[in-house]
Structure 1
Amino acid sequence: MTARDTAAVRRNRDADWDAWPVDAYLAENYRRVHPCDRGVIHHHSAFYRRFAPGTLARTLELGAGPNLYPLMLAAGASRRIDALEPGAASLAYLRRQLTQGPEDSWESFYALARALDPALPATLAEALTRVHPVHGDAAGLPDGRYDAASMNFVAESVTEDRAEFTALCDTFVRAVRPGGQLVAAFMERMPSYRIGSGPVWPACPVDAAALRAVFAPRTTALRISRLAKDRTLPEYGDTGILLLTAARPAA
């Protein structure tokens, strides 16, 4: 029996998300465009280009964190983007980006996003006017509110409990109306992890088969693809990134 077998399984509620290390997280992951960012941005941009500009009345970013590029990618198709975030530190960062203007480091992300989707507003600041930070978590989401929903590095990165991972993914699907669209990114096979020299955060290692087992019974038009491990990032123990698109069944 391993130490992991005998240790208590940590769930979402066991981590102090109010104390998420925003500055260290951004420094490790988002102060420049990494190869994996390019891959995710290309994938998600193709998803949003399926919709005519402004035709999605309301979309969701589930567990937004301090990562702005999923929000900017939605700004061409979506008239309102709810950035749902439970953590006080991440929520404060998002609000500062909206009220004080986005940090310069995000401009290279937006240049790539706009090159891929000319329907995006002329400036990042204008794109972010569509974003509405919302303090809350998945438990409070009503069924079927959104035309589309996005989730990036969330469900697999907040719990060690496979059942809770499945429940979070189920809530993600049910957040969109019947026929509503879904786009997501997951760290592949990532164990519980550290940001900098801080505490260990809970994670649930998943692969493409695990995603298919969760999403296939709940969605239609399921597509899963993979990005190779990005060696320019810190070593989190992952083996790459899994990208997903799907729809909630219409009936």
Structure 2
Amino acid sequence: MSDSGTSGGLTTIGAGNNDAPWDFFDSKEYFEHNYGHLRDDDRQIIKIVTDFFVHCFDRTVPQKQLASAIDVGSGTNLYPALAMLPFSSSVTLYEHSYTNRQWLSDQLGRPKPSWKREFWPVIAGARGPYRKINDPLDLLASCAEVTKGNIFELRPNQYNLGTMFFVAESITTRVDEFRRATLRFVNSLRPGAPYAAAFMCRSQGYFVGSTFFPACSISVDDVRSCLAPVARIRDIETVESHGLRDGYEGMIVATGWKK
């Protein structure tokens, strides 16, 4: 189903994931708007996620036990991958969009200043495993691999640690696709693997440049009911967020372990 059309010179996209032109996603514009500078909502999310990972790995992880990690739908956001660095031997940046994959590959070689100047100090904080990393962007470049992939085609039981930020609810208006994407993410992890996932609450969709992309309007209850069959949920928290764009009611962060 597609209800693509134009209105006032702006492109609008249909309801399903396959209707959106992901290969033409304006990565540069999206990065500048969302991650060119650290926002307070991301600061809060980073603290939730890094505190959880430190809780999971409460001692220095021996080299032979470092996790194979995945960040699903990385887009133009490096902070989930950076948050997994102390605990990972490899990080798969799993991305469907061609333009986002190109952007990620460029960033690994020439990262934007905000990652080290603004995001990393918050990620590192006073937490021991993070403070031991001298150059996080160099380390990420050495262990990360940008991989083309569709979230609906993730293979089960592949990774020991995982993140998915603003993906499952931001690729479709369809509840069944939101649920399937979330389940695919969790099922790509091995039993007992920690995960952190973030969602836009009650999103009505979003513009990137002049193109409108679909989103599914979900709540904390929707996230909980979706995760419960496949995950042990440690916590689901809401984060206030204002001014990023119109048409949403904050952010949701879920942490836990795959069953």
Q: Normalising by the residue count of structure 2, what TM-score does the alignment of the two structures yield?
A: 0.87
Checking the alignment, whether the CA contact within 8 Å between 1:45 and 1:116 is kept in structure 2 is no
DSSP-derived class of the 2:88 partner: coil
- 1:26 pairs, out of 4, 16, 31, with 31
Name the counterpart of 1:114. 124
Could you tell me how far apart the structure 1 residues matched to 2:163 and 2:125 are?
21
1:245 aligns with 2:229: no
Could you tell me how far apart the structure 2 residues matched to 1:222 and 1:167 are?
21
Of 69-78 and 139-148, the range deviating more from structure 2: 139-148
Name the counterpart of 2:188. 175
TM-aligned CA distance change 1:110 to 1:240, over 3 Å: same
Checking the alignment, whether the CA contact within 8 Å between 1:56 and 1:148 is kept in structure 2 is no
Name the counterpart of 2:199. 186
The amino acid across from 1:114 in the alignment is A
Cα RMSD over matched residues?
1.9
The amino acid across from 1:91 in the alignment is R
Fraction of identical pairs, as percent:
28
- 1:132 pairs, out of 145, 150, 154, with 145
Checking the alignment, whether the CA contact within 8 Å between 1:72 and 1:127 is kept in structure 2 is no
Could you tell me how far apart the structure 2 residues matched to 1:104 and 1:229 are?
23
Could you tell me how far apart the structure 1 residues matched to 2:155 and 2:30 are?
30
Name the counterpart of 1:146. 159
Residues 11-54 of structure 1, C-alpha deviation per residue, up to 9 Å, x if partnerless?
11111111111111111111111001101110111122121445
Could you tell me how far apart the structure 2 residues matched to 1:246 and 1:223 are?
7
Q: Moved runs in structure 1, 4+ residues, more than 6 A? A: none
1:95 aligns with 2:105: yes
TM-aligned CA distance change 1:116 to 1:137, over 3 Å: farther
- 2:20 pairs, out of 15, 24, 34, with 15
Could you tell me how far apart the structure 2 residues matched to 1:236 and 1:124 are?
33
Name the counterpart of 2:211. 199
The amino acid across from 2:111 in the alignment is P
Residues 118-158 of structure 1, C-alpha deviation per residue, up to 9 Å, x if partnerless?
42321132231221111111233211010111000000000
- 1:76 pairs, out of 86, 103, 112, with 86
Q: How many residues align?
A: 240
Could you tell me how far apart the structure 2 residues matched to 1:66 and 1:229 are?
19
Could you tell me how far apart the structure 2 residues matched to 1:68 and 1:81 are?
11
Structure 2 gap ranges (5+): 4-12
DSSP-derived class of the 1:155 partner: coil
Checking the alignment, whether the CA contact within 8 Å between 1:9 and 1:161 is kept in structure 2 is no
The amino acid across from 1:122 in the alignment is N
Could you tell me how far apart the structure 2 residues matched to 1:160 and 1:169 are?
14
Could you tell me how far apart the structure 2 residues matched to 1:9 and 1:94 are?
26
Could you tell me how far apart the structure 2 residues matched to 1:27 and 1:115 are?
24
Name the counterpart of 2:47. 42
Checking the alignment, whether the CA contact within 8 Å between 1:194 and 1:236 is kept in structure 2 is no
The amino acid across from 2:250 in the alignment is G
Of 217-226 and 162-171, the range deviating more from structure 2: 217-226
DSSP-derived class of the 1:119 partner: helix
Could you tell me how far apart the structure 1 residues matched to 2:234 and 2:44 are?
19
